[in-house]
A and B are shown apart, each in its own frame.
Chain A
Amino acid sequence: DGGITQSPKYLFRKEGQNVTLSCEQNLNHDAMYWYRQDPGQGLRLIYYSQIVNDFQKGDIAEGYSVSREKKESFPLTVTSAQKNPTAFYLCASSRGGPTEAFFGQGTRLTVV
């Protein structure tokens, strides 16, 4: 089955630590995205990538980093510079252009 997989589903981080969230897709999609969702809020774009080895900052990129070394993979690192990292993180992919996106099941990150 084609799809997009995020792991882990739940993640706990101590203050001052970097953590990396995994996102893999086997849909052969060119574009991949990372969003953050806070309780009762909409989705905010962190980073996006149209093609391998290229990515762009979204609206709230500060404190985050990404890489796109393979078409299938778009990991997100939440660094210690992110002041309020507790949130629901969603990865998505699309064919690119004005097309719909498909989401992974999300990673719920909590700082302890």
Chain B
Amino acid sequence: RKEVEQDPGPFNVPEGATVAFNCTYSNSASQSFFWYRQDCRKEPKLLMSVYSSGNEDGRFTAQLNRASQYISLLIRDSKLSDSATYLCVVSETTDSWGKLQFGAGTQVVVTP
């Protein structure tokens, strides 16, 4: 079983619609959680950290459910520029070392 699992998609979303997807993680001791965005043939870029209380950044909302061991990302009012692959990243801490585990990504395609 992979340590971080994501639905690969693609999620085809009409412009202006809302899309949401989850990421599950296997290590209950995981400490920190992040969403990254990766455009085709580019490096991943940090989209947002995910806090226990949930957090929002403009049109993006991230949630953490520790009991069920998943995080979610919701994108409201989708823009064409939101088309990308979204990577779920989980940090496992051992002896203060945060080893980042990456999911394979969820592809989102926003259509006009």
Cβ–Cβ < 8 Å partners of A97 in chain B: 93, 96-98
Interface membership of chain A positions 92-109, coded 1 if the CB is closer than 8 angstroms to chain B and 0 otherwise: 101011111111111010
- Which residues, 54 to 112 on A, are CB-close (under 8 Å) to B? 88, 90, 92, 94, 96-106, 108
Number of chain B interface residues as a range: 20 to 34
Bound-state Cα–Cα, A97 to B55, Å: 21
**Residue of A at shortest CB range from B6?**
A42
B43 and A104 form a contact (CB under 8 A): yes
> CB of A50 within 8 A of chain B?
yes
Cβ–Cβ < 8 Å partners of B45 in chain A: 103
B102 and A43 form a contact (CB under 8 A): yes
Cβ–Cβ < 8 Å partners of A108 in chain B: 41
Bound-state Cα–Cα, A68 to B100, Å: 19
A98 and B42 form a contact (CB under 8 A): no
**Residue of B at shortest CB range from A106?**
B43
Q: How many A-B residue pairs have CB under 8 A?
A: 56
Given contacts A41-B104, A42-B87, are A94 and B98 in contact (CB under 8 A)?
Answer: yes
> CB of B91 within 8 A of chain A?
yes
B46 and A102 form a contact (CB under 8 A): yes
Bound-state Cα–Cα, A45 to B56, Å: 29
**Residue of A at shortest CB range from B30?**
A98
> CB of B22 within 8 A of chain A?
no
Cβ–Cβ < 8 Å partners of A100 in chain B: 32, 34, 46, 49, 89
- Which residues, 79 to 112 on B, are CB-close (under 8 Å) to A? 87, 89, 91, 93, 96-100, 102-105
**Residue of A at shortest CB range from B98?**
A98
> CB of A48 within 8 A of chain B?
yes
Instruction: Please give the residue numbers on chain B whose beta carbons come within 8 Å of chain A beta carbons, in ascending order.
Output: 31-32, 34, 41-46, 49, 87, 89, 91, 93, 96-100, 102-105
Instruction: Please give the residue numbers on chain A whose beta carbons come within 8 Å of chain B beta carbons, in ascending order.
Output: 31, 33, 35, 41-43, 45, 48, 50, 88, 90, 92, 94, 96-106, 108
